[in-house]
Amino acid sequence: MGRLLRFEFRKLFRQPSFYVCLGVTALLAFLSVYALYSMSQVVMEDFSSVADLSPSELAMLAGFTQASGRGQLVTALSSDNVTLLLGIFTALFICSDYNMKTAKNIIGRGYSRTGWLSAKLAGAGTACLLFCAAAMAVSYIAGTAFWKAGEVNSRDITLLLVQVLIMLGYTALFVFWSVLLRSSGGAIALNLIVPLLLGLLLTILDYLIFKDGDTMSKYWLARAMTTASDITVKSKDLWRAGLLGAVYTAVFTGLSYLVVSKRDV
């Protein structure tokens, strides 16, 4: 198993797509903060008198004046950018072993299919952590440069850990699609479509069936990420978001093992 892990990590850090996706993640994190900063500058210039502002304008102004490195850090993963780029890379990372017959060669040398998948999961999980770290670090540095640092407390660390757990849930889902389809094109398509459309579809079904927007959609990872990115979130809601991330990680990891163990590579 140790040799498999070394092989996967060596391949991970030699794969150009890893650095491309990681770099784009960092770039988009910076651009997101810069866009917010530019918008705040325009808004602040337009507001000549606070007394003349409407309640909605006051709320928007308060959001800009409270912006900081801490605020950007906590909300860094709430954008779809990190999720989509992670989905693209995971599909390429997993499916490359099928496309290039690497998985068949590894198993032909006496390694088990589950051992191969375990090594791939370790590599994909590591990539997930690095994508999260890049987005968080760039967002915090940019937010600090444009506004101020802000004080990061222990609760913020808890929020970040829950967010990372949710991202690991996404990664497990992406790995499952990849081992199920074995095609980088099909896996990339699903990894892009599912995060974008499933939350919207669940919300529509909530309104059509349950007459509200928070029955089925609250069990999707995107809603959990929104919850975990809210500094004022209640503890019970935060725990539910973390549990959701853990459940997705466990369920789709288990399904991936089931698929790999039942099918020849």
State pLDDT tens for residues 220-256: 999 999 999 988 899 999 999 999 999 999 999 999 9
Ranges 147-161, 163-177, 198-212: which has the least confidence: 198-212
pLDDT at 219: 86
Between 169 and 263, the higher pLDDT residue: 169
Per-residue pLDDT at 51 exceeds 80: no
User: 249: number of CA atoms within 13 Å, CB side?
Assistant: 19
Give the Å distances, CA to CA, from 124 to 91, 128, 236, 244. Answer: 10, 6, 30, 20
Between 161 and 40, the higher pLDDT residue: 161
The chain-wide mean pLDDT, for the chain, equals 87
Confidence of residue 44 (pLDDT cuts 50, 70, 90): low
The SS3 assignment for 150 reads: coil
pLDDT tens digit sequence for 107-135: 778 778 899 999 999 999 999 999 999 99
- Cα 206 to chain centroid distance, Å, stands at 24
Nearest partner of 86 among 96, 98, 94, 75, judged by Cα = 94
Confidence of residue 202 (pLDDT cuts 50, 70, 90): confident
Domain of 179, in residue numbers: 2-262
Pure H helices in the chain: 2-14, 16-46, 55-65, 69-74, 80-99, 102-108, 113-146, 154-181, 184-205, 221-228, 235-262
Locate 4 and state its tokens: 């498999």
| Domain total of the chain | 1
Per-residue pLDDT at 175 exceeds 90: yes
